[in-house]
Amino acid sequence: MPAKENIVKSRFHYGSNSLDLTIPSGVAKSQKINPGDVFRLVVKEEKGNLVLQYERVYSTKV
């Protein structure tokens, strides 16, 4: 699948010190991402850039 570029903004997660990143609705629909799906996060640096890589490890049935 070719890489698709979207711009997202981090936001405070109410009641914690975590931050949320929004999955754009078009991506969620086209990739069938549902509330409750579980993702593994790999954090790395490439050529001085922070890369956050998410891999779905569990998909809910909706």
pLDDT tens, residue by residue, 10-41: 999 888 999 999 999 999 999 999 999 999 99
Categorize the per-residue pLDDT at 52 as very low, low, confident or very high, splitting at 50, 70 and 90.
Answer: very high
Q: Give the global pTM.
A: 0.78
Measured CA to CA, the distance from residue 33 to residue 61 in angstroms comes to 10
Query: Is it the case that residue 1 has pLDDT exceeding 70?
Result: no
Residue 4 has pLDDT above 90, yes or no: no
pLDDT band at 42 (very low <50, low <70, confident <90, very high): very high
Cα(first)–Cα(last) distance of the chain, in Å?
24
- Domains annotated for the chain, with CATH where assigned, are 10-58 (2.10.260.10)
